Structure 1
Amino acid sequence: MAVSKKRDKDVYKAPRNIGKPESENPKWLIPTALTLLITGVVWIVIYYITRGNWPLPISDWNLVVGFLGLGGGMAILTRWK
């Protein structure tokens, strides 16, 4: 039996660019993320090595500053394509 041509028009065809990134990463993304990650780790390590005397005299808030650096670096890395 013959098939009508109307059926062929209802077939869904997926776009060809699925799964491909739309654009490149910004040039500042990786250096900024790595700088924040490294700075956060170094901040916390210096705080522990100097027993709380460095980098700033704000007591245990130095840990918060270090973890904010780590969290900021991780948040920026979510934009990495």
Structure 2
Amino acid sequence: MPKSRLRKKSDYTPPPSGAAPVKISSGRGWVAPLMLALFLVGLVWIVTYYVTSGTWPVSSWGNWNILAGFGFIAAGFGVSTQWK
């Protein structure tokens, strides 16, 4: 049976010493702070509603305050899709 040929790998050549390293930036530094802020606002909204027995943040909304809090949290998850 014939023996297969071996492939020779090319040697590694480092980049020239004068080359600057490439910095990759997505330009989306606003995503993480906004995402965390929306999560916290939603959490604080819901906790405030329960602790004050429905008198805060908006007493006329009643149980819709829970939906508003979860809306902020859902918006935080929506913003998190932009994170790279």
Calculate the TM-score normalised by the size of structure 1: 0.68
- RMSD, aligned CA: 1.5
Q: State which structure, 1 or 2, has the greater radius of gyration over its C-alpha atoms.
A: 2
Distance in structure 2 (CA, Å) of the matches to 1:40 and 1:25: 26
For residue 47 of structure 2, what is the aligned residue in structure 1? 45
Q: Which residue number in structure 1 is paired with residue 62 of structure 2?
A: 59
What is the aligned length?
60
| Aligned twin of 2:32 | 30
5+ residue gaps in structure 2? 1-23
Structure 1 gaps, min length 5: 1-21
Q: SS of the counterpart of 2:36?
A: helix
User: What's the % identity of the aligned pairs?
Assistant: 40
Deviation >4 Å, runs of 4+: none
CA contact (8 A) 1:29 1:80 kept: yes
Q: Is the Cα contact below 8 Å between 1:43 and 1:66 reproduced in 2?
A: yes
